[in-house]
Amino acid sequence: MAVVSTPATLERAVPAVDNAEVLRIRNDFPVLDQLVNGQPLVYLDSGATSQNPLSVIEAEQEFYEQRNAAVHRGAHHLAVEATEAFEDARQTMADFIGADYVETIWTSNATEGLNLLSYALSNAGLWAAQGRGDQALKGLALKPGDEIVVTEMEHHANLIPWQELAFRTGATLRFIPIADDGSLRMDQAAAIIGPRTKVLAFTHASNVLGIINPVQELTALGHDAGALVVLDACQSAPHLPLDVKELDVDFAVFSGHKMLAPTGIGVLYGRQELLDILPPFLTGGSMITTVTMERAEYLPAPQRFEAGTQRISQAIALAAAANYLTETGLDRIHRWEADLGQRIVAGLEGIPGIRVLGPAAGKERIGLAAFDVEGVHAHDVGQFLDSRGIAVRVGHHCAQPLHRRLGLTATTRASAYLYNTTDDVDRFLEAVAGVRAYFRA
């Protein structure tokens, strides 16, 4: 069964969000009701950081007003209430991605989750060499001759941790190249992923190209080779239904600040049998069973990877964000954003001197598009749009190798979310159409 439904399938299942409903949704987002440079704000930078609805803001505020206390550490009333709210939030996030409760670990963001994994795998080699831990740990230890495979479209957060893991262990880092249209060269993927592959890490949806990768096909290649499969779900978890069990990945990460939640909170999913044998990344209080002056024994997941005081209010707010998305309907949100993405791409393609990265209009993508304006630097494009109240992202979007492959150093990116209207897109397109004339390019 496909995880990302086709538009036709979704149309039969449930009606999409529409402009009228989006205008009601916008009332939940106070930050959107303001003027920027004398014009109503058009926020098209949710791919970097999304805005927060009142229910999320109030959930975090309510925690501090009513039950602020350390979790898992006190027996008094507030501590018990705080712990219950914190763990209820974990269950909410587990349900949100189709995981089990014990497989859901709090992190500061997806970057921390990926670094946690890379260092835990480093420690697996150290523990295995000392005869410490489960016997199965030896199978997770990387060594010279082993390979880590990523893709050419990865965000730096899903590239640099694996570069460093290769450096620490002597493994070799390889990558699956992209075609000129941004799609993965799956013919080469089948040749690159093989018996030496120990880790396969890739993005679900590209933060530059907007392309949705064939997760199940890649996962099958990885598992057939005996590799661990790691999914960067930062651009998918906020925008389309996600079921990690159905996708069959071993690990997945995503950040709260891209899905209506505060900064400083994210989730790492991992199969329980893997989490329970992996060595911890951070050590200290709350993740131990017994401590002597010589050594410590560690709790199973999820506490095994949650040392110290946790991100309590942020976790509760993230759960409120997940509930908001679930109540609105992620399949409906995905359909609306896909329509906005098509509107953005089709409009940009009709403007002379514009090069859009990723799939052409009419082909599946999430609701974002990065583009280059001939003769005008991306930073100038961004400032021009900002002068008209339109917020977009400029730069290499933490994907320098991808931009280099496409012959660019920087692009402008517009990314839509459930609170954007077709009027937002049309104002953006009208402004972009005037960029080259303004700069006399």
Hey, which residues are catalytic here? 398
- Tell me if 233 sits within 8 A of 242, measured CB to CB: yes
How far is residue 175's CA from residue 70's CA, in Å, rounded to a whole number? 43
Query: CB-based contacts of 361: which residues, under 8 Å, 6+ apart?
Result: 342, 345, 346, 349
How far is residue 242's CA from residue 236's CA, in Å, rounded to a whole number? 7
Reference 178, options 167, 186, 169, 166; nearest CA is 186
Question: What distance lies between CA 167 and its chain's CA centroid?
Answer: 25
